[in-house]
Amino acid sequence: MRFAFVASDTSVAQQAQRKLVERYGDVPPERAELIVALGGDGFMLRTLHAYRELEVPVYGMKLGRVGFLMNKHKLDSLPERIARAHTASLFPLQMQVVDAAGDVHTALAFNEVSLLRQSNQAAHLEVQLNDIVKLPNLICDGIMVATPAGSTAYNLSAHGPILPLDANVLALTPISPFRPRRWRGAILPHRTEVILRVLDPGKRPVSATADFHEVRDVRTVAIRQSGGQGVRLLFDPEHNLEQRILDEQFAAE
């Protein structure tokens, strides 16, 4: 198998990359049958964005602080581990933003698209689902749309639901909602288009972020699941992503 090894900038990841290349060889990602990402979850997200169009499966090894999307780092028996690995398909969200100047920005998110207030003023947002207004004025610090893979990340810290990987749903989760006070979010069919409109952008500016791509001073944000092919992540049987998401619902801390 032709491997392409990519690593974060940390010394431990760079050292691991050198040893793996010595053991198994290395080709450019464009010629690889498998991309091996060495780092944490943040580096994995950047790897998925960088090589998504190659349609090459990605196998991660944890060499960072957070490794929910990664397998254990081991030098030995990589071909055997790949042969036993389970596949998880991740389908990103597509964000389309119109900013204060009228410019249009697009970006993809494998974890979540989030809106956050830019100032000390709470955000005032209109929430539409498939062109139907569901909340005419949500007063909050922000709101996000999370994928199942991203539901255990920022979404979980904002008290959003954990979503099974194959559930074909998205989480719509407010961040510190003030009004309506009792609204705690919604679980949406994955084909839902979410449109968020900033009601007072001059006094209450809002930014929008898709994974790590940020746009400031937004006016409207449209979010839907991307219609293209998803990316394929490989996991050791003992680190199956679907099972890890399920287990997270029973975690004591």
- List pLDDT tens digits, range 187-227: 999 999 999 999 999 999 999 999 999 999 999 999 999 87
Find, among 113, 110, 8, 112, the residue nearest to 65 by Cα.
8
182 — pLDDT class (breaks 50, 70, 90):
confident
Does the pLDDT at position 252 exceed 60? Answer: no
Does the pLDDT at position 77 exceed 80? Answer: yes
Does the pLDDT at position 246 exceed 80? Answer: no
Rounded Cα–Cα distance for residues 140 and 108 (Å)? 24
The two structure tokens encoding residue 202: 């001059």
Does the pLDDT at position 164 exceed 90? Answer: no
Sign of the four-CA dihedral 104, 143, 249, 251 = positive
Which residues are identified as catalytic?
41
Q: What radius of gyration, in Å, describes the C-alpha atoms of the chain? A: 19
- List pLDDT tens digits, range 91-107: 999 999 999 999 999 99
Read off the pLDDT of each residue in 148-167 and give the average, rounded to a whole number. Answer: 90
Neighbouring-strand partners of residue 88: 233
Percent of the chain with pLDDT over 90: 83
The whole-number pLDDT of residue 125 equals 98
Read off the pLDDT of each residue in 76-82 and give the average, rounded to a whole number. Answer: 95
Does the pLDDT at position 249 exceed 90? Answer: no
The two structure tokens encoding residue 109: 């998110």
The DSSP symbol for 72 reads P
The whole-number pLDDT of residue 250 equals 74
- List pLDDT tens digits, range 109-131: 999 999 999 999 999 999 999 99
Contact yes or no for 140/231 (Cβ under 8 A): no
The whole-number pLDDT of residue 220 equals 98
Read off the pLDDT of each residue in 174-184 and give the average, rounded to a whole number. Answer: 92
Read off the pLDDT of each residue in 236-251 and give the average, rounded to a whole number. Answer: 77
Does the pLDDT at position 240 exceed 80? Answer: no
The whole-number pLDDT of residue 253 equals 58
Domains and CATH numbers, the chain: 3-90+229-248 (3.40.50.10330), 93-225 (2.60.200.30)
